[in-house]
Structure 1
Amino acid sequence: MQSEQAALTRPRRPQPQPAAHPPQVLRELLARADVQINGTRPWDMRVHDARAYRRILAHWSLGAGESYVDGDWDCERLDMMFERLIRAELDRTVPGLARLKVLAESLRQRLFNLQTAERAHQVGERHYDAGNDVFEAMLDARMIYSCAYWGAGARNLEQAQEHKLEMICRKLELQPGETLLDIGCGWGGLARFAAQRHGARVTGVTISREQLALAEQRCEGLPVTLLLQDYRSLQGRFDKIVSVGMFEHVGLKNYGLYFDTARRLLAPDGLFLLHSIGVDRSAPHTDPWIERYIFPNGKLPSPRELADEVEGRFVIEDWHNFGTDYDRTLMCWAERFEAAWPRLAPRYDEAFRRMFRYYLLSCAGFFRSRQGQLWQLVLTRPERRGAYRSFRPQA
């Protein structure tokens, strides 16, 4: 945590520079999204320090996020602002010098494998190990850190996450005594649910030490085995496989190996459920600010990228999109995080608070814009016998 706080806390100038004259190019770009600088609407940007303009124009998304965390500007409703920016495709419209830096980052991600086994623990150390107290405050009681399912008439976050877990188990046709592999098991919420409610024998893997320690406590006494391990080194054979919110860390260059590994581990008649964030079209790189401060080495798949890698390895039995539910989930997390801040503040500085607020609310806008999707795919090996019947909870 100390290293992350140090990365976010930068030297501030003793006196802010007046922010009365925003550059015309920035005003014109934001106008495409109906966002004004120093306007009065909830989604308008209020600039406190003129250096925000230089940082945004020089680094675009990265500069905007860093200058927000440093307190150079504010917005009453970041979620509304980002929905407008993304619908206007300003995330894909990069001006001037910033364009060269974005192109350089795209080239880096195309040339190098940023998600090797040696680098796999970076996201655990940088994000998931930030502190269990943050996630306990922000998430539901089971600590499910993925999109909830609100489509079955859920009235609150607890119900929506339970509906999602039950939907997963029903889609997997999970039976008592069956073996379930949970790739990216987090704090053990799904593993515990599958063992308690459906009688499964679960093996879960995570790359976060903080997650593993708490997951072991929560699953004590249940037929659940938890491992601190990269998915590539897994061995064995399982009746069912599930992976929730982990595929976003796999990386395009590893998609083939990921699906080959899942096929190797899945019983011939088994079912594999993949739950992943996706994007509406293929993108050469992830958002630079999210990549640096939240999910290092992340990559969101597009429909084509997923289909290309699944082809010849699995049959797609079901493809369920409920991306709009992530907007509501993130807004719940943001509300809970803010409510918990008074008891978190002694351990975390204001920069951390602004970083997490920016992360949660910008992502809510991303899903609200419909550029962000949330998919659940049910996959089978080609030799599986019998038909698969898709499942959706009834409202």
Structure 2
Amino acid sequence: MAKVATQLVGALEELLGARIPLRVRAWDGSEAGAPEAPLVVLRNRRAVRHLIWQPGELGLARAYVSGDLDLAPESDLYEVLHAVAAFTEQQEASGQHLGLKDITGPEGRRLLAAALRTGALGLQPAPPPEEARQQGRLHSRGRDRQAISHHYDVGNDFYELVLGSSMVYSCAYWEPAARSLEAAQAAKLDLICRKLGLRPGMRLLDVGCGWGSMALHAAQHYGVEVVGVSISTEQVAYARKRVADAGLADRIDIRLQDYREIPDGPFDAISSIGMAEHVGSSEYLTYASGLLGLLAPGGRLLNHQISRRPNRQGQPHVQSAFIDRYVFPDGELSPVGSTVSLIEEAGFEVRDVESLREHYALTLREWVANLEANWAQAVRLVGSGRARVWRLYMAACALAFEENRIGINQVLAVRTEQSGRSGLPATREQWLARPTASELGRSGKAAGTAA
């Protein structure tokens, strides 16, 4: 009888009409596939069952998260993901969409027969427990809390391992002088403060404040009063402790609060960093309009948001099944043009759009390196399955940014005054200027110079 890997790979390639871009080692030790390709390991028959019952991205993800499918020690995760993404794109371009109907139809009979002969055919395995199970109306406040908790309330100690001491969970800004992740994250926070034109005495709202890094930076280096809101209980507890430890509780108010429930505008500036991806396209105009209503005339909004490429003509957009089930439940990405249009429809004047796509790729590779360097501790903190989820999603996203499949943009918008005045200086260099030493000194509130 032919070895397990030979049977399965041969039948799969016949079904797909193409050579798969990987080499496969089965549970019996046999190998098949492209000789020079990265090697993946089917540790048991359940790995094949995941793929038969849920062909494509979700089945692969379930097999990997559960540990039934793994990389060989000598294989590079980025190389594997790049090969799979390129192969998937080629298949889609040629009209191939592998699904359960294909496998159970006439063309898939050889694959099912191979699975039967090798003992891999069986009942559908239960999804790994790390898979989200959302309840309630999409983007209702209760369901949004579930989605945010699924991703962010997994343990602050785990996030410290991944993000490092900066505790910033969005792309860094890799200036030439930035020699570390922490320095690059400080540079990003400072760039946002400068785009917002923060000055001592202003009132800043930080929507989706995370672990409090933006609030702390703005208060310490720009002398502003800050309200930070998040619906993650663990983030809020962590941010409040950081604020108290910094002696800034009189100037920073961290709240467990939905952005739709903020009662005490107006603010002079609003930052929204990596939060709008959770809003959803159906709620985006409500989000933008709500922020406009919280801004004083002449106030600025900095919206820092991941984007996707526009759909090809005639093709619907398909959300990533892995990201939706395991990483960001109910999260939605839109093209940057759609985001800008909705922000303007809400009543803002958009003044600047800056892409930081390559910066996010570098940042994600740093996070992956942090996770891999502390892998044993990460597994102790959150379990093998969740650690695998984070490793897979961060590495896959790093490649997606590098290959221009997704982007990241900072959109600066203004609530213009009734007269039409924006309040912005004439040139970009002027409105990016930091406060002068005399401005900071007169306020008596800045705890240091800008990073």
Give TM-score, length-normalised by structure 2. Answer: 0.74
1:309 corresponds to: 342
SS state of the match for residue 366, structure 1?
helix
2:64 corresponds to: 68
Unaligned runs of 5+ in 1: 1-16, 100-111
* Equivalent of residue 149 in structure 2, options 115, 118, 125: 125
1:390 corresponds to: 428
1:372 corresponds to: 406
Q: Does 1:294 align with 2:327?
A: yes
2:309 corresponds to: 280
Q: Does 1:346 align with 2:380?
A: yes
Q: Does 1:248 align with 2:248?
A: no
* Equivalent of residue 180 in structure 1, options 181, 187, 204: 204
Asked which structure has the greater CA Rg, the reply is 2
SS state of the match for residue 154, structure 1?
coil
Which segment drifts farther, 335-344 or 280-289?
280-289
Q: Is the 8 A contact 1:327 1:364 kept in 2?
A: yes
Letter of the 2:190 partner, please give it. Answer: E
1:195 corresponds to: 219
Q: 1:74 to 1:263 in 2, by over 3 A?
A: same
**How far apart, CA to CA, are the structure 1 residues paired with 2:327 and 2:259?**
21
Q: 1:30 to 1:269 in 2, by over 3 A?
A: farther
Q: How far has the Cα of 1:273 moved from its partner?
A: 0.2
SS state of the match for residue 370, structure 1?
coil
Q: 1:36 to 1:182 in 2, by over 3 A?
A: same
* Equivalent of residue 228 in structure 1, options 256, 275, 280: 256
Q: How far has the Cα of 1:207 moved from its partner?
A: 0.7
SS state of the match for residue 311, structure 1?
helix
Q: Is the 8 A contact 2:154 2:382 kept in 1?
A: no
Give TM-score, length-normalised by structure 1. Answer: 0.84
1:56 corresponds to: 51
Instruction: Give deviations 1:176-205, integer Å, cap 9, x for gaps.
Output: 111110000000001000000111100000
Q: How far has the Cα of 1:240 moved from its partner?
A: 0.4
Letter of the 2:384 partner, please give it. Answer: E
2:289 corresponds to: 260
Q: How far has the Cα of 1:46 moved from its partner?
A: 3.7
Q: How far has the Cα of 1:304 moved from its partner?
A: 3.3
- What percent identity do the matched residue pairs reach? 36
**How far apart, CA to CA, are the structure 2 residues paired with 1:178 and 1:270?**
10
Q: How far has the Cα of 1:316 moved from its partner?
A: 1.4
Q: How far has the Cα of 1:31 moved from its partner?
A: 5.6
Q: 1:268 to 1:353 in 2, by over 3 A?
A: same
1:5 corresponds to: none
Letter of the 2:344 partner, please give it. Answer: E
Q: 1:27 to 1:73 in 2, by over 3 A?
A: farther
SS state of the match for residue 297, structure 2?
strand
1:21 corresponds to: 7
Letter of the 2:61 partner, please give it. Answer: G
Letter of the 2:309 partner, please give it. Answer: D
**How far apart, CA to CA, are the structure 2 residues paired with 1:277 and 1:25?**
39
2:160 corresponds to: 136
2:99 corresponds to: 96
Instruction: Give deviations 1:56-80, integer Å, cap 9, x for gaps.
Output: 3534111111101122322322223
Q: How far has the Cα of 1:302 moved from its partner?
A: 1.1
**How far apart, CA to CA, are the structure 2 residues paired with 1:59 and 1:345?**
28
**How far apart, CA to CA, are the structure 2 residues paired with 1:356 and 1:379?**
33
Q: How far has the Cα of 1:386 moved from its partner?
A: 4.0
Greater RCO (Cα-Cα under 8 Å, separation 6 or more): 1
* Equivalent of residue 145 in structure 1, options 146, 157, 169: 169
Q: How far has the Cα of 1:26 moved from its partner?
A: 4.6
Unaligned runs of 5+ in 2: 26-33, 103-135, 434-451
Q: Is the 8 A contact 1:177 1:201 kept in 2?
A: yes
* Equivalent of residue 270 in structure 1, options 276, 295, 299: 299
Q: Is the 8 A contact 1:319 1:375 kept in 2?
A: yes
Q: Does 1:329 align with 2:366?
A: no
SS state of the match for residue 219, structure 1?
helix
